[in-house]
Structure 1
């Protein structure tokens, strides 16, 4: 785990990239500008220098992040790699939003392994990313204790065969207490989730995992995965409609002049050649 100030600067870095990425400025220039806004006492400016070199060499950033495993966790590299895939539908802006929110959560006082798991797994589910690569990257995150890392690899193998809520429930304190109540031997596997997580998971068995994530956020305060707001087409639609109405008005005016017999086509001549009616008036 890095120092808190590193994650604070990471969150700021990803956030300003997201804010400025729509300014038609190359990513290399945005990163170079952002580097001078960061704390010089952190290691992030040095990491950005390495990423800039990788961008210039290969045109992608995930390779440089993979080389800096001691600084960028594998899940961060996974998100950027998915965003840079040519055949994928995962937007780069969405990746930056998730990265900023995740880095911000790592600085929170209420940070827990369970909260990080639900955040990262929801990001994979909601954006339809590759589960195999995503869970592998999660299992290599140093924020998870060894018991968590082992369970994430088990989840990777059994996902799709066993319901997610069931896998969470059998690793919860609630399941352990029920086993003891009926005199059964306690489970050998370590407990990863508390009583609240176990209750919520038990009530969401055979349901959409997104409903499970939403319930965890409502009742336990776990962070929600950010979603890009839909682009409002109205600002660009109004000028388009205005131009079309102007064109229709001009054509109606020409038809009325033709019906009255007062249409003078000579005014549409340009250097001895006739132009299409209405085009000259629109200039």
Structure 2
């Protein structure tokens, strides 16, 4: 699908914000959808999309079905977010989901950068435990990303658990290139940088730290979009699920390390091997 006009994202922002507010006011989603299209700018395609959503939710009872069918208008990641709110196995409310879409639409309406959208979407998956495989695949199909970005995003999906997020950013940044060229002026990276120098500098400062510190620093320093926080309190059952998820993450990490030992993981795609030797021992590259 192509990138939409700015006015579409402005109206999407209003739509997601208003839908969220009215659902919080105990108005049924179907009732909101049947009326809200009249409030949307008629020169956009959103009113027709809302009318279709209203019809589809009557038939299927699900909002995500309409989002998926309207793949020429709503992105795969938007559909994934709505689908996640309907998954009983995930503690991801419709309020949080719509708030995420509201924030994302606002960012897309205001000179968005692929780097900003990537970090925003990745933090959404991490903070809300939505799962990386399906979520990152949906991310990669966003029209804002070039093929180079898509290749990088899919590469990230295969290395999660082995490589920390700050390394992904640092090794594909202009700052990493600057550091290498101080030692070797003729150095040329195997892959061109995707992140600017400031992002790379911040990422390097956060190597070995909780990735949420990096997300917060990028938001403070570079005005990256802030991810909405869930207001729901965790129960003992939720804590058990978190522990199970961490065990699963450890199992995935062990499998990835085994693959690395067998030579099936190509970390050289990040940069020249020398950088792998100079990173802190606390990171996934250490021997």
Q: Are positions 1:156 and 2:157 aligned together?
A: yes
2:130 aligns with: 129
Q: Describe how 1:173-252 pairs up with structure 2 within 5 A.
A: 173-183=174-184, 185-229=187-231
Deviation at 1:41, TM superposition (A): 1.1
Task: Say which is worse superposed, 51-60 or 146-155, in terms of deviation.
Answer: 51-60
Q: Report the Cα distance in structure 2 between the residues aligned to 1:150 and 1:56, rounded to whole angstroms.
A: 38
Q: Report the Cα distance in structure 2 between the residues aligned to 1:167 and 1:173, rounded to whole angstroms.
A: 13
Q: Report the Cα distance in structure 1 between the residues aligned to 2:135 and 2:46, rounded to whole angstroms.
A: 24
Relative to the length of structure 2, the TM-score reads: 0.77
Aligned mate of 2:50, from 41, 48, 51: 48
Q: Report the Cα distance in structure 1 between the residues aligned to 2:113 and 2:84, rounded to whole angstroms.
A: 25
Q: Report the Cα distance in structure 1 between the residues aligned to 2:113 and 2:159, rounded to whole angstroms.
A: 24
Task: Say which is worse superposed, 74-83 or 56-65, in terms of deviation.
Answer: 56-65
Q: Report the Cα distance in structure 2 between the residues aligned to 1:38 and 1:214, rounded to whole angstroms.
A: 33
1:142 aligns with: 143
Task: Say which is worse superposed, 96-105 or 183-192, in terms of deviation.
Answer: 183-192
The alignment partner of 1:222 has SS state of coil
Deviation at 1:229, TM superposition (A): 4.6
Residue deviations 1:160-213 (CA, integer Å, cap 9, x gap): 111111111110011112222222631121210011111111011111111100
2:4 aligns with: 2
Q: Are positions 1:73 and 2:71 aligned together?
A: no
Q: Report the Cα distance in structure 2 between the residues aligned to 1:163 and 1:80, rounded to whole angstroms.
A: 28
Gaps of 5+ in 2: 234-287
Deviation at 1:230, TM superposition (A): 6.4
Q: Report the Cα distance in structure 2 between the residues aligned to 1:80 and 1:143, rounded to whole angstroms.
A: 20
Q: In the alignment, is the contact (CA less than 8 A) between 2:6 and 2:109 conserved in 1?
A: yes
Q: Report the Cα distance in structure 2 between the residues aligned to 1:203 and 1:156, rounded to whole angstroms.
A: 23
Instruction: State the aligned residue count.
Output: 230
Q: Report the Cα distance in structure 2 between the residues aligned to 1:223 and 1:202, rounded to whole angstroms.
A: 20
Q: Report the Cα distance in structure 2 between the residues aligned to 1:117 and 1:217, rounded to whole angstroms.
A: 13
2:64 aligns with: 62
Q: In the alignment, is the contact (CA less than 8 A) between 2:24 and 2:95 conserved in 1?
A: no
Q: Report the Cα distance in structure 1 between the residues aligned to 2:165 and 2:229, rounded to whole angstroms.
A: 22
Query: Which structure is richer in relative contact order (CA contacts within 8 A, separation 6 or more)?
Result: 2
Q: Are positions 1:172 and 2:173 aligned together?
A: yes
Q: Report the Cα distance in structure 2 between the residues aligned to 1:228 and 1:82, rounded to whole angstroms.
A: 14
Q: Report the Cα distance in structure 2 between the residues aligned to 1:105 and 1:23, rounded to whole angstroms.
A: 26
Residue deviations 1:38-65 (CA, integer Å, cap 9, x gap): 1111111111122122211211121221
Task: Say which is worse superposed, 43-52 or 133-142, in terms of deviation.
Answer: 43-52
Residue deviations 1:139-165 (CA, integer Å, cap 9, x gap): 000011111111000000101111111
